Amino acid sequence: MTTRAPAETAPGTSVAPRRHVLDLDDFSAGEIHALLDSAEAMREVLGRSIKKVPSLRGKVVITLFLEPSTRTRVSFEQAGKMLSADVINIGGAGSAAEKGESLLNTALTLQAMHADLIVIRHPHSGAPYFLARNLTSTAVVNAGDGMHAHPTQALLDLMTMRRHLGSLEGAKVVIVGDVLHSRVARSNAFGLATSGASVVLCGPPTMMPLDLLHAGRTPSLPNVTVEPDLDAAIEGADVVMTLRLQSERQEAGMLPSLREYTRRWQVNEARMSLAKPGALLMHPGPMNEGVEIASSLAHGGLAQIEEQVTNGVALRMALLYQLLTGTEERP
Amino acid sequence: MSAPLLIKNARIIDPSDGSDEIGDLLVKDGVIARRGSANGGVPDGTRVVDGTGMVVAPGFIDLHAHLREPGGEDKETIATGTAAGARGGFTTICCMPNTTPTIDSAAVVGFIARQAADAGPVRVLPFGAVSRGRAGVELTDMEELARAGVAGFTDDGNPVATGHLMQMALLYAGQLGLPVMDHCEDHSITHGLGVNEGWVASRLGLAGYPSAAEESIVARDIALLELAGGALHIAHLSTAGGIEQVRRAKERGLRVTAEATPHHLTMTEAWVLGSHGRGSPDEALSNDAYETRAKVSPPLRAETDRQALVEALADGTVDAIATDHAPHTFADKAVPFEEATVGLSVLETALGSLMGLVHGGALDLAALVHRLTAGPAGVLGERYAELATLRKGTPADVVLFDPNESWVVDAASFASKGKNTPLDGETLVGRVKLTIAGGEIAYDGLAS
């Protein structure tokens, strides 16, 4: 058990500085807390009229996004620029990847240009691990890999929850939707379980990892359980997080119809009323309003969706700062 | 013709007659000239090898290897593949038809025969495709392929595409006396390749390849065998459920045979986590996770499947060990897991990894030798019986191995072009020392 019951590191004790952020499975509760504290300080920078500090001057951050993204890429870019890092954006179209250059050769090329950190978004699970294994002097941050992990999304979700709930210890968080294909759900499960929250996964049986569906839980994450019925799952929840439903899932035969999905797993007012009063409603975006989330709720008082985005920038500032300076000190 | 060679005082295991004794073996003029403990004259110029503590057996027969030529010479050639086979103790290698062009014409079979003759003494027996271009539509000219020398038929890499085609193939090849080998995989069930459906797939966010994808096609094929007759051979059997079906079909007297690979017999899905299979569900992923060198089709399975496979090998439900040697280039594997090609380079590590089962007490040595020699010869049929015997007067296909030599796998030094094995750096116990194919020395590791 190296991750689920990590030793708390007392303040001031030194641990080997983290080089990469690939998922939350190797974060201790202490490390998550320290990072969220740092992100709170970064939020203050975000609120200034001159939104820039010189902390990462002379550092080169490359965003290598081989899958479409708006919020995550812009969020990283903005975070880097506010800390005065030089941020270079590379996408699939117009890059050497389009000419068939392998990911390995692209990454080695960027390393040879002395890039300090690569933020990678990739359609295939494990691509950031592949880079981390092959790069010797460039740090790697996972900005979403296939169905596997999206650690900075989970961290900004944890930050949003902590801001409202005070502590995550004992909180009940329900994650609803296409869990099978969701890197957001996977990373949140680790971060939440490590932080002492209990997680209930809810969604169609065709969109749940089979081992989890059959066992109802997974040996590595004792705080995570499965409840197929949304009304039962949502009962008494502190946080309800809905996941984006990709329309191609229905075409792939995984769902009878959007209508049936909406009827059984859409988060709407009636269902939110079963949660704790004032429970948070979250969505990693982009939303399909009227499918996984009722339109009226998406823009209602419970929804934290825009705050999630703001916190994302602050969190990514804290993360870049930590990785590129080797410290959690505030700027 | 090599000079006469006498191996003295070795344990001689010959599954073709069930013998297992300490003695001498003399190879002269390309044949087994003498065998056993009886003393006899030693011809002039004979090389004498002290076999004390070592095992002599018929040369190994691999029913299933990808030699990649023609069309995939970056990955392997018949020359490098047979050299790798010789190092692994294999004197006969059946090569698969998923080449470019496909082995679906007598011309390609002839090309392979010529390349093999130029390469050296290891015998290469091609399998012809079941369907033209392995496209799963029309049968190949099976009789012409049989006359050209194919050992059987398979669309390996793909399953025989439809039940109808399988039925026709069993009928037609059955009349020719040749087996139909099937790669049992329902493509509509396998959403991703290379990782078993289960906790590892779930942990890594990869689409799993469930056992049901194999079991459903094994069931189809056995039902069709009952209908059509002929001989069915199940390639790289990997699941407990598939094993049970083969066992029951054999009990009913059907002509079904099966092979298992060294990797499915010795490794599990945990190898995909990296760290040489020592990862557990409780640990954070290491940078070595998504180990593309452990990506293979069918995937490495659960420990319960692996144990069932070892039992099936021991009790004869699995007739033969076959390597499914699948060499790939560095670039084929140096990519994110989902983009990597499937397969391991196996020929040079097969004996060493399988000896782990013997040293661990799961299998006895004579049974292992049987499944590498008489077992596969039985799948190929009567015409190849002489490939798996040390009987006096038969062509000398012989392997000498040290069952106790400990060595470290160094993929970079493989004769195979394929360095793609997750065993790189592992210590194995059991190593081939000398391989003689058709009376010629194919590999000599005694000096090193």
Is B262 inside any structural domain? yes
Residues A189 and A300 in one domain: yes
Is B438 inside any structural domain? no
Residues A133 and A271 in one domain: no
In angstroms, rounded to a whole number, what is the distance separating the alpha carbons of residues B74 and B418? 9
Please give the residue of chain B at the shortest CA–CA distance from A190.
Answer: B284
The one catalytic residue in B319, B324, B397, B402 is B324
In angstroms, rounded to a whole number, what is the distance separating the alpha carbons of residues B232 and B254? 9
Tell me the two tokens of residue B281: 């569900």
Print the domain residue range for B336. 59-387
Q: Which of A23, A67, A106, A133 is the best mutation test for B, with the most CBs of B within 10 A?
A: A133
Is B420 inside any structural domain? no
Q: Cβ contact (<8 Å) for B282 and A220?
A: yes
Give the confidence band of B36 by pLDDT, cuts at 50, 70, 90: confident
Residues A92 and A189 in one domain: no
Tell me the two tokens of residue B108: 């390609």
Residues A299 and A317 in one domain: no
Residues A93 and A171 in one domain: no
Is B4 inside any structural domain? no
Position A13 scores a pLDDT of 46
Residue with structure tokens 């092979």?
B259
In angstroms, rounded to a whole number, what is the distance separating the alpha carbons of residues B429 and B306? 20
Is A6 inside any structural domain? no
Is A124 inside any structural domain? yes
Give the confidence band of A12 by pLDDT, cuts at 50, 70, 90: very low
Residues A315 and A288 in one domain: no
Q: Which of B280, B287, B341 is the best mutation test for A, with the most CBs of A within 10 A?
A: B287
Q: Report, in this order, helix, strand and coil percent for chain A, each rounded to 5.
A: 40, 15, 45
In angstroms, rounded to a whole number, what is the distance separating the alpha carbons of residues A117 and A58? 12
The answer to whether the beta carbons of residues B301 and B393 sit under 8 Å apart is no
Q: Is B211's pLDDT higher than 90?
A: yes
B319 is catalytic: no
CB atoms within 10 A of CB A93: 8
Q: At B56, which helix (H) or strand (E)? A: strand B55-58
Position A95 scores a pLDDT of 76
Residues 6+ apart with CB under 8 A from A206: A180, A254, A255
- Looking at the structure of chain A, the number of domains it has is 2
What CATH number does residue A115 fall under? 3.40.50.1370
Nearest to A129 among B198, B199, B287 (CB): B287
Q: Is A208's pLDDT higher than 60?
A: yes
**Which is it for the CA torsion A246, A248, A252, A253, positive or negative?**
positive
Residues B395-403 have a mean pLDDT of 98
Residues A63 and A81 in one domain: yes
Residues in B closer than 8 angstroms to A210, CB to CB, are: 197-198, 202, 208, 210
* First-to-final CA distance of chain B: 23
For B129-144, the DSSP string reads PSBGGG-SSSB--HHH
Q: Is A99's pLDDT higher than 90?
A: no
What percent of chain A shows pLDDT beyond 90? 79
Is A24 inside any structural domain? no
Nearest to B339 among A2, A4, A124 (CB): A124
- Residues B289, B295, B299, B305: what is their CA dihedral angle, to the nearest 10 degrees? -50
Residues A266 and A193 in one domain: yes
Residues in B closer than 8 angstroms to A212, CB to CB, are: 202
**Which is it for the CA torsion A71, A76, A79, A84, positive or negative?**
negative
pLDDT tens sequence across B300-348: 999 999 999 999 999 999 999 999 999 999 999 999 999 999 999 999 9
Is A136 inside any structural domain? yes
For B343-366, the DSSP string reads ----TTTHHHHHHHHHHTTSS-HH
Give the confidence band of A6 by pLDDT, cuts at 50, 70, 90: very low
Give the mean pLDDT of chain A: 91
CB atoms within 10 A of CB A268: 15
Q: Which of A124, A181, A188 is the best mutation test for B, with the most CBs of B within 10 A?
A: A124
**Among A21, A56, A61, A25, which residue's Cα sits nearest to residue A141?**
A21
Tell me the two tokens of residue B113: 């025969």
The answer to whether the beta carbons of residues B30 and B3 sit under 8 Å apart is no
* B→A interface, C-beta within 8 Å: 197-199, 201-208, 210, 281-285, 287-290, 331, 334-339
Is A316 inside any structural domain? yes
Cis before B210 (ω within 30): no
pLDDT tens sequence across B225-274: 999 999 999 999 999 999 999 999 999 999 999 999 999 999 999 999 99
In angstroms, rounded to a whole number, what is the distance separating the alpha carbons of residues B258 and A234? 51
Is A7 inside any structural domain? no
Please give the residue of chain A at the shortest CA–CA distance from B199.
Answer: A211
What CATH number does residue B213 fall under? 3.20.20.140
Is A8 inside any structural domain? no
In angstroms, rounded to a whole number, what is the distance separating the alpha carbons of residues A143 and B199? 23
Helix (H, G, I), strand (E, B) or coil at B44: coil
What backbone torsions phi and psi does residue A129 show, to the nearest 5 degrees?
-65, -40
Print the domain residue range for A197. 151-304
Name residue A245's amino acid: L
**Among B178, B142, B187, which residue's Cα sits nearest to residue B160?**
B187
Residues B31-46 have a mean pLDDT of 85
Distance to chain A for B71, nearest Cα, Å: 21
Residues A4-21 have a mean pLDDT of 58
In angstroms, rounded to a whole number, what is the distance separating the alpha carbons of residues B129 and B126? 10
Q: What angle do CA A188, A239, A120 make, to 5 degrees?
A: 25
Helices (H) and strands (E) in chain B, counts: 13, 16
pLDDT tens sequence across A242-273: 999 988 887 788 999 999 999 999 999 999 99
pLDDT tens sequence across A212-231: 888 777 666 778 999 999 99
Position A221 scores a pLDDT of 76
Residues A156 and A296 in one domain: yes
pLDDT tens sequence across B347-390: 999 999 999 999 999 999 999 999 999 999 999 999 998 899 99
Distance to chain A for B298, nearest Cα, Å: 19
Is B400 inside any structural domain? no
Residues 6+ apart with CB under 8 A from A217: A224, A225, A226
Residues 6+ apart with CB under 8 A from B16: B58, B373, B374, B377, B385, B388, B389, B390, B391
pTM over cut 0.80: yes
Is B431 inside any structural domain? no
Is A20 inside any structural domain? no
Q: Is B33's pLDDT higher than 80?
A: yes
pLDDT tens sequence across B87-119: 999 999 999 999 999 999 999 999 999 999 999
For B199-226, the DSSP string reads HHHHHHT---B-HHHHHHHHHHHHHHHH
- Looking at the structure of chain B, the number of domains it has is 1
Please give the residue of chain A at the shortest CA–CA distance from B188.
Answer: A252
Residues A221 and A102 in one domain: no
**Which neighbouring-strand residues pair with B401?**
B55, B432
